[in-house]
Structure formats: C-alpha cells, structure tokens
Chains A and B, each alone.
Chain A
Amino acid sequence: MRLSRRRVLKSLAATGAAAASPGVFMPALAQTGPLKIGILAPRTGIAASAGISGLAATEWAVEKFNAGGGIAGRKIQLVVEEETSPKDTIERFQKLVQQEKVECVMGIVSTGVGLALGPVVEEARALTIYWDGTTQDGVDEKLLNPKYLFRSTDNECEAVMSSLLAIKHWKGQFKRIAGINPDYSYGRNNMAAFIALLKRFDIEHEVVTEQWPKVGTMELTSHVAALKAANPDLIFSSLLFADLPVFMKQAHAADLTKGTKLVFPAAGWQHTLMKKDFTPEGMIFGHNTLYFDNPQATPMQKEFVAWYAEKQKDYPNWEADRAYFAIASYKEAVEKASKAKSGQWPGVDDVIGAMHGLSVESLGGKGGWRKDNIADQTFVQGFSTHNNKYDFVTLDPAKIETMYSADLQKPPGAKFWDWLKTAQFKI
C-alpha cells in the first residue's frame, strides 16, 4: 500500500478521534483475583508520623483480614503511593485508579490535598475513604454532597471537645487567653471554635495574643517570646506536626508552661515526642480517636498496640485508628452488599449504599458512616500525667474523657459556626 501524506494524516486523525472517545479510558472493574486497595499516605515530611501510623494499621488489618479469607472471599493487595502536594497526589490517585485499577482508595491526611482531591474523586467515580484531612473552609464549595468520597469526622471535633473540657474544668480560673496555632484553615478554625464556645458559655475572656506560625516551621522563638510577653492564663494550641515538641521545649525553657493552663486538642499526633522533661502535667491533651494506653481499651486495641510497639518500636497515634476504621468499614460494606446480592461481587453503588448507616468497632472505639458520607467516631482526651512507665506524658487514668462525635460535630446540612451557637453540648 502506498503511503501518501493525506493517508497518514487521515490515519492519525482517526486514531486521535478513537482515543478521544468517551469510555475508552474507563477502568475495567476486576471481580476476581486479589482485591486491590490503593493507599495514599505521607511517609516523609511533616505529616510522616501520621502516614506511618495509618499505613501500619492498614497492613495489620490486611494481615488479619487475609488470614480470615480476605474481603468477601478475595485476598487484599495494597498498592501504596505517596501523599505529597495536591498536584502530585492527584497524579498518584489517578495512577491508582487508572493504572493499578484499585477498587477503593484510602488515605489522605492533609486538608489542602483532601480538598483538591475531592472533585477528582467524584469525577473518577472511584470509591475513596479519607483517613483525615478535612475542615470547614472550602468544604461546601469543593466537596458538596459527594457520592464516591467518604470523609473523616470534621477536624474541629477535637477542638470542640478540648474547649468543652476547658470550660468544664477551668471555668472561672482563666481570663487572659492566648493562641498559637498553625497558619492554615485547620489551625484558624480550631482557635475560632474555642473562642466561639467561650462566648457560647458566657466565659469572660480576653484574647491577649494570637500567634500563627507557618505550618511545620521549627523557628518558634519569636512566637514563644510574644506569648511570654502577653502573660496569658491559658494557651490554646492546635500545633500537631513536628513543630509541636519544638514549641513545647522552647515554652518550657521560657517558663511559659508553669502556672499557665494549656489546651492542646491535637497533641496526640506527636505523643511519643512529648517528653516528660518539657511537657507539664495537667494540660488538656487530645488523642483524637485513639489513645494507645487507654485502660478501657478493647482486646483488639491492646493486640494492635502490642503488635505496633513490637514492629515499629513506637506507639501508634490516632491515624492508625482512622486507617483501620476505613478498611474495616469498607470490608463490612462489601460483605454486606455481597450478601444482599447472593454472594455476587457488588458494584461500587452497592458498596456505597451499604456504607451508609454502617457501624464497626474500630481500634479506638465505635465508628460509623452517616448518610452524608461523614464518619462518626469515638474521641479520647484528658489531662497529661508523668505517672507512667514511658519517657513521655500520657493521660491521667482517673481523668480520661470519651465522647462520641455525634456530640461534637454538626449534623448533616448544618453550618458549623451556626451550629456552635445553638447545639446542646453535654459537659
């Protein structure tokens, strides 16, 4: 056949048109063989402690589930990709869905990445369960009524709980309040929620300083000096990355921790780095959805913590619970949907339907999924103590508080800031 320029151009146009046709790129839904689950988790950088804890819990769960036959008879195979910037994480997500053809994606710790990825998840129609990483700002605009995306509890749950504990235990003992929170929507919302609740409960207060260090920065000297100069009665801080222990060391060196009430709703992310040498007793310390040393822990949590300590030479933070909850609830939903289809492998819509209203026992306690694809989970906080066998602070066993997120997060459809003004809190 003679190849003319016109013929070559026609062929190219035809292949281009074929490639541009809708449906050509739809991933095939494999229903036999191993069940591929994609994980997007940070393993390096400022959120590495969370990613490592979450990944370890997922691996532990997969080990256990596979030993029991997998999910609805299919052995689980994890495909792990790195969570980094929004742009790169979206690429990793697309690789998991398009290239690896995973049937569910789990992970995500960063708020910014979570917001960016949400619309992509919906466009890809790929069932995705976030471990963490959502907040109030931008959610209505970017993640409104998602179908395929299941999100963690709203991040302000822990701030609401800490605020309620501070009001319950320290009402009348503080007036001058200061804040040091990471300079992004999570930190700003936490501080705003604390102040909103002080107003709600008519707590007389004066904000003497608000410090907003850049996320993850280790240079906190000027912030510590500003806090010291403001002479607050109480400091509220949602620092949670590697900057938290650095801040605590510097605050301790500046005598800021003596006689000042401390409210740290998210300190549990760095709990093993919060050494007794510089972390005081009696601070409100949030462990979010998993407190590794909980005397009321279930046998499953105890087994996991022992396994984690043996394997990682460390103790897990709450991301382990979020990750376990994600995969355990997915397993439960798939098996429920499969049963409803007489043992046939369910489609993604069947699994989504089965997720709604589901309740599972997670590592840190009970958890479930609401109809608006938001998780409900169990939160643990308390007062720090040095009276333990570790070199870091834990919670005073006599003062551990547990709350379910139904009492800490807004109901479906409500606006967070409006809800804070009218909600009936149990304190």
Chain B
Amino acid sequence: MRGATAMIVAAGVVALGLVPVLAPPFYANLLIPFFGYAIALLGFNLLFGYTGLLSFGHAMFLGLGAYGAAVMAGENGIKSFEVVLLGVALAGALVALPIGLLCVRFIGIFFGMLTLAFGMLTHAILFKFYHLTGGDSGMRVPRMNILGLEFQAYNKIELLAGPFYYYCLGLLVLCGLVMWRIVHSPFGLHLRALSNNAQKAEYLGVRVYQFRLAAFVISAIYGAIGGAILGFRIGLADPEIVHWTHSGHLVFMTVLGGFSSFLGPIAGALALTLLQDQLQSITPYWRFILGAVLAAVVIFLPRGLAGIAGTGAALAKRRAAA
C-alpha cells in the first residue's frame, strides 16, 4: 500500500474507531449497515470498477448472506457468527458459480440484464415460497456469538454499538486488505487489462472468461458477508434485501464514491448512509433529493467523491512542484 493511501486508511480506521467514544451512540448503530455495505461494495467494485461488469442483481448475494444467517443461526442453531460468515461465504461462491458461468459470457447491458433477471428470480422465490422463506415476513436472524463470546450483559443495541461495531470495523479492515492484495496481484492486473480491452488482453494470453468468472465469484463472497452483517443488525432477512432497487442502491453508493478508486465505494457507502439519515429526518421526500444528488454526481463528478480527493491531491502536488 502506498504511503498516502496507507495514511488515509489509518486515519479512517482511527476515526471510525473513535465513533462509539466521541459520537452519540446512535451513530455507532447507524454505521453497522455502512460496514456491511462497504464490504459488499469492495466485492462489487472488483466486478464493476476493475473488471468492467456492472451487475444490476448484486443484491441477491446480500440476500444470500442474510437468509444464510437466518437458516444457519435461526433454523439450525449455529450460534457462532464466524461459522455463519464462513458458511454464507461458501454458499455465495457455490451460488455465484453457476450464475456466473452463464452471465460472464456477456458484457455491457446483456450482463446487466442477466444479473437483474437472476436477482428478481431470487426475489420471487423468496417472496412466493412462504413455507420455506416466510414470504414477505421474511426469516428471523437471531443474535449470535462473536469471537465465541455471548456478551450476555449487553442488550442488542449495546452489542451493536459496542463489540459488534468494532468487530465489523475489524472485518472491514481484513476484507479490505485481502481485496487490496487481490486487485494489486497479477490477477487484478489481468482484470484491469481485460476491462480496458478484452480482445487485446485475450490476445496477450489473459483467460478472459475464467478471470471474469473468478471476479464474479469473489464479489459474491463479499456480498454474502456484507449481507450477513445487515441481517445480524436488522434481525431479519426479508425479500426486499434482494430487490432490484437494493441492487440500484449498491450502484448508487459506488458511483457516489467513485468506482475508479479502491476506497471510492467505501466512501460512497459512508456518505450515502449519513446523507440518507439526515435527509430522512428532514423530509419524507428524501428520495427526490437522493435522485438529484445522483444526477449531479454523474454530471459534475463522474469520478465520484474519491475523484474530488484525487483532483485536490494532484493540484496540491502541482503547486508544490511549482
């Protein structure tokens, strides 16, 4: 990791670590979904930002994580969140493999539409199979142990705002480091090469289909982990988590933060979580404002929030050189 990026990451981790101490407790709770989304978006951006495949059905993997947690912990009594995370990650990979085998044969709008179709198919299954999935009422995700500790002295809100907050922060750092290694490995370079010019990359020996499939599976694993965090936090897995609008939410966060940057989607998740919280308290028409923000970002900040930081750093460097 380069010096400047490492500094930004370290400052970010310290700042996030201080939230439960310095900010009102509500904000620690509010940031739990941010951690879930940030992890999911690390994977999503491997597919979108690095591989050039924009999925409109990625929420199905978050749903897989949430429903997986409900089945493992709720139906089968597995109390360890780490075991649940491993389970949903494995399930994510297993489900993503056949879907990816079909979808990554296509690019552009065709890939987007196929993933959308699989996402909505998943939604229909979850919604219609009442006896299996609870239909619109969903499935309960019970409280689980973290690191083998039950934290019985804590009620759920205290658990979320305290130990679980730090657990998720640690998980985000870990997933971030793994993803950093992935995108800066030869595999990551191959993905960028095939994203820029797949034909040329193939001519140079890049196994385009296999690499796209691998990126798809890895992104699904990240999505499932993020979904399990969301499920733990809400205490429920319901069909809306896989709805296409939720997939759109992931795209929104990524575009807002900037998909051309490693940290961009994380910044987007944080910005949207905080922005939505403020807007929801101000007006019931907050969605209009979010829509306007998205339009403004696409028109005026095509590189997202990370682009502003990048431009600022470049300007400072130029001035220093002058």
Contact = CB atoms under 8 A, between A and B. Distances in A.
Interface of A: 12, 15-16, 18-26, 43-44, 81-82, 84-88, 90-92, 94-95, 97-99, 111-112, 115-116, 119-120, 123-125, 135, 137-138, 141-142, 183-185, 188, 215
Contact of B280 (A81, A90, A120): A81
B205 interface: no
A99 B136 contact: no
Interface string B234-258: 1110101100000000000000000
B254 to A, nearest CB: 19
A226 to B, nearest CB: 18
Given A91-B33, A123-B155, 14 more contacts: A22-B151, A43-B284, A81-B281, A88-B276, A88-B280, A90-B234, A112-B136, A116-B138, A116-B234, A116-B235, A137-B137, A185-B130, A185-B136, A185-B137
Contact of A12 (B14, B138, B240): B14
B162 A124 contact: no
Given A20-B163, A91-B277, A185-B137, A115 B155 contact: no
A87 B157 CA distance: 14
Contact of A137 (B26, B135, B154): B135
Interface stretch (B15-23, B179-187, B194-202): B15-23
Contact of B240 (A82, A85, A123, A141): A85
B78 to A, nearest CB: 18
B118 interface: no
Contacts of A184: 135-136
B282 to A, nearest CB: 10
Contact of B26 (A19, A95, A142): A95
A423 to B, nearest CB: 24
Interface of B: 14, 17-18, 20-21, 24-26, 28-30, 33, 127, 130, 134-138, 140, 151, 153-158, 161-163, 165-166, 230, 233-236, 238, 240-241, 276-277, 280-281, 284-287
B156 A112 contact: no
A116 B236 contact: yes
Given A85-B240, A90-B234, A125-B155, A138 B134 contact: yes
Contact of B158 (A26, A87, A135, A185): A26
Contacts of B233: 90
Q: Which 4 residue pairs are nearest across A and B when measured between Cβ atoms?
A: A123-B156, A19-B20, A138-B137, A20-B162
B26 A94 contact: yes
Contact of B20 (A20, A137, A188): A20
B265 to A, nearest CB: 19
Contacts of B157: 25, 94, 97-98, 120, 123-124
B257 to A, nearest CB: 20
Q: Is the interface of A mostly helix, strand, loop or mixed?
A: helix
Contact of B156 (A124, A135, A183, A215): A124
Given A98-B29, A141-B140, A86 B155 contact: no
B36 to A, nearest CB: 10
Contacts of A91: 29-30, 33, 277
Nearest to A20: B162
B136 A120 contact: no
The CB with the most chain A CB atoms within 10 A, among B163, B165, B230, B241, is that of B163
Contact of B33 (A87, A95, A120): A87
A145 to B, nearest CB: 15
A138 B28 CA distance: 29
Given A16-B166, A18-B21, A82-B280, A112 B154 contact: no
B26 to A, nearest CB: 4
The CB with the most chain A CB atoms within 10 A, among B24, B153, B166, B234, is that of B234
A188 B154 CA distance: 38
Nearest to A123: B156
Contacts of B154: 22
Contacts of A21: 162
B294 to A, nearest CB: 18
A142 B238 CA distance: 13
Contacts of B277: 91, 95
A90 B230 CA distance: 12
Contacts of A19: 20-21, 28, 161-162, 165-166
A20 B166 contact: yes
A87 B234 contact: yes
A81 B161 CA distance: 21
B99 to A, nearest CB: 24
Contacts of A124: 155-157
B280 A92 contact: yes
B17 A12 contact: yes
Nearest to A187: B136
Contacts of B29: 91, 94, 98
A23 B159 CA distance: 10
Nearest to A14: B21
A87 B273 CA distance: 12
Contact of A25 (B137, B153, B158, B287): B158
Contacts of A81: 280-281
Contacts of B155: 22, 123-125
A215 B137 CA distance: 13
Contact of B236 (A22, A115, A185): A115
A86 B238 contact: yes
Contacts of B240: 85-87, 112
The CB with the most chain A CB atoms within 10 A, among B127, B151, B240, is that of B240
29 contacts: A19-B21, A19-B165, A20-B163, A21-B162, A22-B158, A22-B162, A24-B25, A24-B158, A25-B157, A26-B158, A88-B280, A90-B235, A91-B33, A95-B26, A97-B157, A99-B26, A112-B138, A112-B240, A116-B236, A116-B238, A124-B155, A124-B156, A124-B157, A125-B155, A137-B134, A142-B137, A185-B130, A185-B135, A215-B136
B277 to A, nearest CB: 7
A137 B87 CA distance: 28
Given A20-B166, A99-B24, A82 B284 contact: yes
Contacts of A185: 130, 135-137
A24 B21 CA distance: 10
Contacts of B33: 87, 91
A19 B17 CA distance: 10
A24 B162 contact: yes
Nearest to B14: A12
A282 B63 CA distance: 46
Contacts of B127: 183
